[in-house]
Structure 1
Amino acid sequence: MTVPERPQRAASDSTLIRVALWVAIAALVVAAVVCVVWVLVGTDNDIVGRAFLTILLLAAFAGAALLDARLAPRRPAWFALASMITWVLILLAGAILIWLPTPYSSYYYPSGVERFVAFLLIVLVLQLALLHTRLMVKAHLRFVTPFTQVVTFVTIGLVVVLAFMLVIPLTFSEYLDLPSLYWRLVVAIAILAAVGTALVPLVNALFGPKRPVRQAPAAALQPWPTYADGVTPLPVMPDGSPDWNPYYTGYPSTVSQAIAPVAPHAPVQPPGAPHQPGWPPAAPHPEQGHAAPGYEGYPPPPPLPPRS
């Protein structure tokens, strides 16, 4: 007996979400312990301000973790785990920027504003890398081929490497003096990641399945009007409209064409009766007071076509 795939996938997604929550809890505890150790054994240089910033950082991380936990059921499980790991890296970078001492060999003392701007840039870089990964996987799943699969995973790997290569100098800018080769590699990886990002949508547009064009629903065909007998169809006018004259008089107009070779609906002389000059009788005139059905001797108005 085989187990359905959907329950297995749901159990796997639930496991990944629980792992993400445990990662957030562990990171929060470890960051708090490390910050407490720095408070106890570190220098007294602006310790109150750093402790206050640490409390704000931990509160922001807890809020982000709770938000990710609430959004996890509506997201892929791998994305929920990746998002939590991203917030853990942001927490780690923020703690380092808060408690990292100034090197004695530094020519200038960095201000808190500079470190805060560096922290915002780190958040922006990591979140953009996470968003890029989500969009790449979503575009890849539209049309899966061996080529697009390789390009997708290679591009995601390049973007992750690029994000780390940008985060490291932003975090340790006061301690690192990176050579020009490092930044040349950053530019080269960025170009390759951009090429890989553009390849997957282009392949999808060229070879992927096209979305069906939605057509407007066809209008309901109305039944063709008939003579007063309800059976014989009315003739057609040159413009395609029904000739309503036969409905009232029994005779078509001179310019209309019959739909079928049906004799006009006219009175018939009784068999065996002598021929009379005035036969067949003319259509009643509205001014003549004949007691005929309808209005003033004319048949009743045609029925309205049924509405869909």
Structure 2
Amino acid sequence: MTVPERPQSTADSKLIRIALWVAIGALILAAVVCVVWVLVGSDNDLIGRAFLTILLLAAFAGVALFDARLAARRPPWFALASMVTWVVTLLIGAVLIWMPTQDWYFYGSGFGRFASYLLIVLILQLALLHARLLIKAHLRHVTGFTRAVTIITIAIVVILAIMLILPLMFWEYVTYADPYWRAVVALAILGAVGTALIPLVNALFAPKHPRAVAYAAPQLQPWPTYADGVTPLPVMPDGSPDWNAYYTGYPSSVPQAIAPVAPLAPVAPPPGHPDAWYPPATSEPAGPASAPGYEGYPPPPPLPPRP
């Protein structure tokens, strides 16, 4: 069974179109920058860099198409933010491919930059996922305090992501001193505190969803049958079994023909017939409440006398 997609508004469609145009513009810009680098740059590993650039552009095109297909199932802001994140990933990849290498570094080869690029992609995607989950939690209970905490926390996480990405990109050329990493740790602590505040506030003040109480369904008793133990008794107008038919073998009224009334036991002759027989009179009243039958049902009628 296919799940119907959420209908898109005009604003949603505009955001998706903007995201696609951003992807197209980034693809063209990256291609132009790489071509200029090829024309004016050095001849060091030119063929390898060009091949990696082609792979990067192809991968970005595939990711952009995949994001466009998922845009209808996502919030509009998240679709645009996801496309912008992949655009930043593309530009960072192009810089890492064409940036001159420092051969005196052990990890200055392509493998070191490839590992750094994978870490950069992971950091960007985690920051995007953090923003989506935090905003989703914030929407459960929107107040001025939670709105301010959400905005500040997302800004801190974005700055933290940038400060983690810069050393991965330019560690060959820049040495990051101790104050830089102290600031990174401080931002990480503030981001963690802001992230934890929203669920705590929701747990205290957000409206609780009522839980469905499970009630045990009463166990239905089996419908009574004729003396044969197979054919069910007809239904009376009030919904109760036709107990009289249990003794006579026939329904008490014609409208009861809606129920299976053909007994499988031998049919007794109607009243007034010479061969008719009647159950012996008893001093106790007959009925479901006083009958000693099985589970409150009347006992089976006595068999007719045999010759």
* TM-score, normalising length: structure 2: 0.69
- Alignment check: 8 A CA contact 2:153 2:195 kept: yes
CA distance in 1, matches of 2:17, 2:156: 28
CA distance in 2, matches of 1:101, 1:221: 79
Q: 1:282 to 1:16 in 2, by over 3 A?
A: same
Task: Report the alpha carbon displacement of residue 11 of structure 1 after superposing the two structures with TM.
Answer: 1.2
Question: How is 1:253-272 mapped onto 2 (pairs within 5 angstroms)?
Answer: none
- Listed one character per residue, the Cα deviations across residues 104-125 of structure 1 (whole Å, up to 9, x for unaligned) are 8x55571111000000000000
Question: How is 1:37-186 mapped onto 2 (pairs within 5 angstroms)?
Answer: 37-103=36-102, 110-186=108-184
CA distance in 2, matches of 1:296, 1:108: 104
Q: Which contiguous aligned blocks of 4+ residues in structure 1 show a shift greater than 6 angstroms?
A: none
- Report what 2:302 is aligned to: 296
Query: Match of 1:212, SS?
Result: coil
- Alignment check: 8 A CA contact 1:16 1:81 kept: yes
- Listed one character per residue, the Cα deviations across residues 32-56 of structure 1 (whole Å, up to 9, x for unaligned) are 0110111111111010000000000
Task: Report the alpha carbon displacement of residue 219 of structure 1 after superposing the two structures with TM.
Answer: 3.1
- Alignment check: 8 A CA contact 2:102 2:108 kept: no
Task: Report the alpha carbon displacement of residue 94 of structure 1 after superposing the two structures with TM.
Answer: 0.5
CA distance in 2, matches of 1:82, 1:91: 14
- Report what 1:282 is aligned to: 283
Question: How is 1:153-232 mapped onto 2 (pairs within 5 angstroms)?
Answer: 153-217=151-215, 219=217
- Report what 1:10 is aligned to: 9
- Listed one character per residue, the Cα deviations across residues 232-278 of structure 1 (whole Å, up to 9, x for unaligned) are xxxxxxxxxxxxxxxx9xxxxxxxxxxxxxxxxxxxxxxxxxxxxxx
CA distance in 2, matches of 1:109, 1:118: 10
- Report what 1:244 is aligned to: none
Q: What amino acid is the match of 1:150?
A: A
CA distance in 2, matches of 1:63, 1:133: 24
> How much identity, in percent, do the aligned residues show?
65
Q: What amino acid is the match of 2:9?
A: A
Q: What amino acid is the match of 1:34?
A: V
- Alignment check: 8 A CA contact 2:101 2:109 kept: no
CA distance in 1, matches of 2:78, 2:301: 77
- Listed one character per residue, the Cα deviations across residues 132-166 of structure 1 (whole Å, up to 9, x for unaligned) are 00000000001111111111111000000000011
Query: Match of 1:296, SS?
Result: coil
Structure 1: 5+ residue stretches without partners = 1-5, 224-229, 231-247, 249-279, 285-292, 298-308
CA distance in 2, matches of 1:144, 1:103: 51
User: What is the Cα-based RMSD across aligned positions, in Å?
Assistant: 2.9
* TM-score, normalising length: structure 1: 0.69
CA distance in 2, matches of 1:283, 1:180: 102
Structure 2: 5+ residue stretches without partners = 1-5, 222-235, 237-246, 248-280, 286-298
Task: Report the alpha carbon displacement of residue 176 of structure 1 after superposing the two structures with TM.
Answer: 1.0
CA distance in 2, matches of 1:65, 1:173: 29
CA distance in 2, matches of 1:203, 1:173: 40
Task: Report the alpha carbon displacement of residue 221 of structure 1 after superposing the two structures with TM.
Answer: 9.1
CA distance in 2, matches of 1:162, 1:109: 24
Q: What amino acid is the match of 1:295?
A: P
Q: 1:66 to 1:216 in 2, by over 3 A?
A: same
**Count, aligned residues:** 231
CA distance in 1, matches of 2:107, 2:33: 24
- Alignment check: 8 A CA contact 1:90 1:123 kept: yes
Q: What amino acid is the match of 1:282?
A: S
CA distance in 2, matches of 1:69, 1:77: 11
- Listed one character per residue, the Cα deviations across residues 172-207 of structure 1 (whole Å, up to 9, x for unaligned) are 111111111111000000000000000000110111
Task: Report the alpha carbon displacement of residue 217 of structure 1 after superposing the two structures with TM.
Answer: 4.6
Task: Report the alpha carbon displacement of residue 282 of structure 1 after superposing the two structures with TM.
Answer: 3.2
Q: What amino acid is the match of 1:133?
A: A
- Alignment check: 8 A CA contact 1:102 1:109 kept: no
Q: 1:283 to 1:118 in 2, by over 3 A?
A: same
CA distance in 1, matches of 2:75, 2:143: 21
